[in-house]
């Protein structure tokens, strides 16, 4: 696809990112767990869904705006937390936050981002969301909650589907998790050296190359090994709903529970005081062979849609996918890979271009299906 003047679709953005990034980073975005069955099903199950076409309805006035978690969104889309985004493009988290704010939608900063929560706040005109993983060190968890509150984050996104890191074969094959011999490490270095644009933008101009929000918890060594070691040694597999209650009692803003795939878990999230749940299988990166997010959505929306705002991520690549998710009960969709690829491809401008395209796709699909507002999508 190198002949394309400008990327137009998710596939175009993915292809451009593949050519720009070192293999380890592209695989980190692109890959899933085990044999990637759930990763594929997330998008394939969306593809199988049909939209009802309606005609001869007045669609001269269409609005894509909606209200979620007490905030007005320009469209039912938010940017999900994506770890290591600052390695895809120079200070990538800030560039993505700027794009989201320009379109009037939320941006979620990953706890594993290169830009710290304070750096993003300093460079943001509007409040953003902060993603939190539960750590063994509850004092550190509370430190993160307090920092999020201090900079004015409007929502805390607690990701609950990662008591252990999923088995990701791509990361083993490409050496992201370490364990390579000398000759293979040389091949990794050569691959990075061949990505000249990435070297200039990220390695030379994007420093510091550390996990900003948690940098003080990491030894001054290689970024990838530190990230992996930190995850394995600090993510807490003993977390229960009592820990979510503990956070709820200390966090004053909106609480979003991300990683819910079962209606009973959704009810428990509502019971502990969450304002929103995200139907999510971590983009197919955790438990393989679990159902796709879109397949799990209707039951969860029926179970708790009158108590919390139900969001979804996993496989959302276009405005058509957003329409399908809303029709099945989602209030909105979180985008992950859909913004990571264009960020790698063209920075803030790439993310803005993707959001512009998605907004147009939503608007046209609404018109051709006879809906003039998000609430009319069925």
Does 3 map to a domain? no
The per-residue pLDDT for range 79-110, each reduced to its tens digit, is 999 999 999 999 999 999 999 999 999 999 99
Does 177 map to a domain? no
CATH number at residue 274: 3.20.20.70
Q: What is the pLDDT of residue 224?
A: 61
Does 283 map to a domain? yes
Q: Is it true that the peptide bond before 208 is cis, omega within 30 degrees of 0?
A: yes
Q: What is the pLDDT of residue 2?
A: 52
The rounded Cα 1 to chain-centroid distance in angstroms is: 26
Q: Which residues are designated catalytic?
A: 282
The rounded Cα 334 to chain-centroid distance in angstroms is: 6
- Are β-strands 129-132 and 108-109 bridged in parallel, bridged antiparallel, or unpaired? parallel
Q: What is the pLDDT of residue 222?
A: 55
What is this structure's pTM? 0.95
Does 296 map to a domain? yes
- Give percent of the chain with pLDDT exceeding 70: 97
The rounded Cα 146 to chain-centroid distance in angstroms is: 22
Does 136 map to a domain? yes
Whether 122 and 265 have beta carbons less than 8 Å apart is answered as no
How many domains does the structure of the chain reveal?
1
* Beta carbons within 10 angstroms of residue 70's beta carbon: 10
Does 108 map to a domain? yes
Q: Which residues pair with 132 in a beta bridge?
A: 158
- What DSSP state is assigned to residue 84? T
DSSP E strand boundaries for 243-292:
254-260, 276-279
Q: Which domain holds residue 153?
A: 10-168+232-376
The per-residue pLDDT for range 41-84, each reduced to its tens digit, is 999 999 999 999 999 999 999 999 999 999 999 999 999 999 99
Element (DSSP H or E) covering residue 29: helix 23-30
The per-residue pLDDT for range 320-367, each reduced to its tens digit, is 999 999 999 999 999 999 999 999 999 999 999 999 999 999 999 999
Task: Please state, in angstroms and rounded to a whole number, the distance separating the CA atoms of residues 122 and 91.
Answer: 13
- Are β-strands 66-68 and 71-73 bridged in parallel, bridged antiparallel, or unpaired? antiparallel
Does 335 map to a domain? yes
The per-residue pLDDT for range 180-215, each reduced to its tens digit, is 899 988 999 999 999 999 999 999 999 898 899 998
Does 211 map to a domain? no
Radius of gyration of the chain, Cα coordinates, nearest whole angstrom: 20
């Amino acid at each position: 696809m190198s002949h394309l003047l400008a990327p137009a679709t998710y596939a175009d953005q993915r292809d451009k990112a593949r050519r720009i990034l070192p293999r380890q980073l592209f695989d980190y975005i692109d890959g899933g767990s085990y044999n990637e069955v759930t990763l594929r099903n997330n998008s394939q199950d969306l593809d199988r869904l049909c939209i009802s076409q309606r005609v001869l309805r007045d669609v001269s006035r269409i609005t894509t705006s909606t209200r979620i978690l007490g905030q007005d969104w320009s469209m039912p889309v938010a940017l999900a937390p994506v770890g290591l985004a600052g390695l895809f493009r120079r200070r990538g988290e800030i560039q993505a936050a700027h794009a989201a704010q320009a379109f009037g939608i939320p941006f979620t900063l990953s706890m594993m981002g290169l830009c710290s929560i304070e750096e993003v706040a300093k460079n943001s005109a509007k409040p953003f969301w902060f993603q939190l993983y539960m750590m063994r060190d509850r004092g550190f968890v509370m430190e993160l909650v307090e920092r999020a509150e201090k900079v004015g984050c409007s929502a805390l996104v607690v990701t609950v589907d990662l008591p252990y890191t999923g088995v990701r074969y791509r990361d083993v094959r490409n050496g992201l998790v370490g364990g390579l011999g000398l000759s293979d490490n040389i091949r990794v270095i050569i691959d990075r050296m061949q990505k000249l644009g990435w070297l200039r933008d990220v390695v030379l101009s994007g420093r510091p190359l550390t996990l900003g929000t948690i940098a003080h918890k990491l030894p001054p060594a290689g970024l990838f090994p530190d990230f992996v070691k930190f995850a394995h040694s600090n993510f807490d597999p003993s977390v229960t709903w009592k820990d979510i209650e503990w956070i709820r009692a200390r966090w004053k803003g909106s609480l979003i529970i991300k990683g819910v795939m079962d209606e009973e878990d959704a009810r428990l999230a509502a019971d502990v005081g969450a304002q929103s749940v995200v139907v999510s299988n971590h983009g197919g990166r955790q438990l393989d062979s679990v159902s796709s997010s879109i397949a799990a959505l209707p039951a969860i929306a029926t179970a708790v849609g009158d108590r919390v705002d139900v969001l979804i991520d996993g496989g959302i690549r276009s405005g058509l996918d957003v329409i399908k998710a809303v029709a099945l009960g989602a209030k909105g969709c979180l985008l992950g890979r859909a913004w990571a690829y264009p960020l790698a491809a063209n920075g803030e401008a790439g993310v803005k271009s993707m959001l512009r395209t998605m907004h147009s796709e939503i608007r046209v699909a609404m018109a051709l299906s006879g809906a003039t507002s998000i609430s009319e999508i069925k």
